[in-house]
Amino acid sequence: MTFAQYLRIETSIGGYGCTDKQFIKACLDFILPQAKHHHLYRTARHLFIRDGLAYLNKARDQAFDGLLKDIEYIYSTAEVSKHV
């Protein structure tokens, strides 16, 4: 999966806050109809979905890492202001 394909799928379902199940369903909607369930395309289909889930998990990690750093900063400044 290219990053552009990932972005198209992610945007269509509302961003990185979607569930894995929603993302997989959107991936299946994105691929060709004959490749959705046929056994000949199984390996390629699973690789496509795994690549997309890897992008999705990386986006979630980056977003939530930033949120956690912001929360830690807020709490650390609040503790410092209590002692001053």
Tally of domains in the chain = 1
Q: What is the pLDDT of residues 27-70, one digit of tens each?
A: 999 998 998 889 999 999 999 999 999 999 999 988 888 777 77
- CB of 19 closer than 8 Å to CB of 60: no
Q: Rounded distance, CA 29 to CA 68, Å?
A: 34
Burial annotation 3-18 (CB, 10 A radius, 16+ → b, else e): eebbeebbeebeebeb
Give pTM, 2 decimals: 0.74
Would you mind telling me the total number of residues written for the chain in this entry? 84
Q: Structural domain of residue 73, as residue ranges? A: 3-83
- CB of 56 closer than 8 Å to CB of 16: yes
